[in-house]
Amino acid sequence: MSTVCEICGKTKVVGGTITRKGLAKKKGGIGMHVVKSNKRIFKPNLQVMKASVNGVVKRIKVCTSCIRSDKVQKA
């Protein structure tokens, strides 16, 4: 199943989460230390909707930012 917006081409992006351990300096500790770094994937918020493309009604996958900005004509 495709995870690409058919209007703007928005796709998944690879990022990461950082796990920290320790007591913060302003709470009296020696500071937060990085323990682990995990990879994760940020996926676009895609919705399947009926839209008119070149005068033809089709079911396409569109991200919510394109729907909100009226880049797609609802059918």
CA distances from 27 to 5, 18, 21, 23, 71 (A): 45, 20, 13, 7, 49
pLDDT for 1 beyond 80: no
pLDDT at 75: 85
**Which residue is associated with the tokens 């320790």?**
22
Domain positions in the chain: 13-68
pLDDT band at residue 2, thresholds of 50, 70 and 90? confident
Q: How far apart are CA 74 and CA 44, in angstroms?
A: 20
Q: How far apart are CA 46 and CA 21, in angstroms?
A: 35
pLDDT at 61: 97
Q: Give the pLDDT confidence of 12-68 residue by residue, as tens digits.
A: 999 999 999 999 999 999 999 999 999 999 999 999 999 998 999 999 999 999 999
Q: How far apart are CA 73 and CA 9, in angstroms?
A: 17
pLDDT at 42: 96
Query: What is the CA 26 to chain-centroid distance, rounded?
Result: 33
